[in-house]
Amino acid sequence: MISTFAPQTPAASEALSLNSQQLEELVLAQRHFFKSGATLSYEFRKGQLGVLKRALERHEKNLVEALHADLHKDAFEAYGTELGPLYAEINHTLKHLRNWMQPERKPTPLMFFPSTSYVVRPPLGVTLHISPWNYPLQLLLSSLVPAIAGGNTAILKPSELALATSQAIRLLIEETFEPEYIAVITGPGHLVTSQLIEPFHFDHIFYTGSPAVGKIIMQAAARHLSPVTLELGGKSPGIVAADANLAFAARKIVFAKLMNAGQTCVANDYLLVHESVKDKLLEKLKAELNKQLEGDARSSTAYGRIINQRQHKRLCSYLGDGNIVYGGNTSEADKFIEPTILTDVHEDAAVMQDEIFGPILPIITYSTNEEALAIIDRNPYPLALYVYTASRQTANFFINRVRFGGGCVNNGLVHLGNPNLPFGGVGTSGMGAYHGKDGFDTFTHRKSIMHTPTWIDTPLWYAPRKSWYLNILKRLLR
């Protein structure tokens, strides 16, 4: 390691782990390393992806323990939602990387004969990755994978709110990579804008978090015209149609809402339930909650905790916004909130205005698809949408009429697990996408090339022009 970047040890609440001089030296070192061309070859990129995978395997036990310390995730959930998706993303990338790096042939108009045209995908350069606390490992390193595949360097900023995981990531990265290639900066997130984004130009900034902070990141990046990918949030609805398989829908809805105690950006934020099946669905949901939690959420090893007391207090404030028909028990000391179903919720209540980001599920009834659409439009651009129906027509109505990032029909969350699908928001839920090839595209530039051999040339382009040149040009262009 380069001693210049040896982290300082101020309190996390006071400063970033590197001072301003060290940050400048780190950015310059990464830019120098990138300009050396060391990251360009397929062999280098493939090798570094393998290095990252082996590092994850070595540190797996430490990472699982850290995730439990921060969010009370059990080993199954830690692997299923954090480590497992990272392994899958790395494996998918390794399988396809050589093909992704090949020039993409494009047709060439006859008027440019004998030229050929193609698109190459060079890397962007020095990238910055800022992640949230709810999936503190997966959401940070899942953008690092395509950055490595694209041939970039990277500076990582994990969330200080998931302190144990942040420290575990820092240990992993510092043991594995030289800082001029991949580095970690820890400390309070509110300092990143003023101490990192505003002073330094980055070739790409990848941020996952809230829309409010996304606006701040984008505004600061504009100073240097740094491109950004923003993975934000929103109120993601679940829609249960009259013809839905209610037992199946309840199982999927509960699975998705219990994951990480509801602290998931693409979880069902609220349910729109056709009025004819509301009572039946409620019974199915209650039964499924009791089954999956074995009747006691607090003692269940498969149920997480809220990240901190501040978020716990915020979530508890929503419990009075409707009629509690299931759950409602809380413990501030334990950061516990029992999965809670609310009915009779007014549309102006805070729980229907804010992104909940927790284990509280308001249920709203509707009578027509148009009525459901109007309710969704009160909080436009959800990051995800889930439709439970036996009708393709009903599914397509919502898929085509609602502007949302991505989602599922008769399932929840699982579209994120397919590396062949792009993941990203629209409007206030984000811009840009990643996962698989879409991640590689995000961290590379589509550079257009026309290659002209010298064995023949046409006089058509050159002065002095003969009168018949125009007729030829018209024939070629019409």
Cα angle at 321 between 318 and 326, to 5 degrees?
80
**Helix residue ranges, H only, 59-83:** 60-71, 75-78
Closest-CA residue to 362 (of 377, 380, 375): 375
Q: Is 265 a catalytic residue?
A: yes
Catalytic residue among 77, 160, 265, 408: 265
Distance of CA 79 to the CA centre of its chain: 18
Reduced to 3 states (helix: H, G, I; strand: E, B; else coil), residue 360 is strand
Catalytic residue among 82, 89, 160, 231: 231
Place of tokens 């040896």: 6
Closest-CA residue to 254 (of 361, 344, 355): 361
- CA–CA gap between residue 266 and residue 255 (Å, rounded): 13
Q: Is 231 a catalytic residue?
A: yes
CB neighbours (10 Å) of residue 356? 23
- CA–CA gap between residue 181 and residue 155 (Å, rounded): 8
- H/E stretch holding 409: strand 406-409
Six-digit token string for 150: 């694209």
- H/E stretch holding 42: helix 42-58
Q: Which long-range contacts (CB under 8 A, 24 or more apart) does 444-448 make?
A: 444/121, 444/122, 444/123, 444/124, 444/150, 444/151, 445/121, 445/122, 445/123, 445/124, 446/119, 446/121, 447/119, 447/120, 447/121, 447/122, 448/106, 448/117, 448/119
Residues annotated catalytic, as ranges: 231, 265
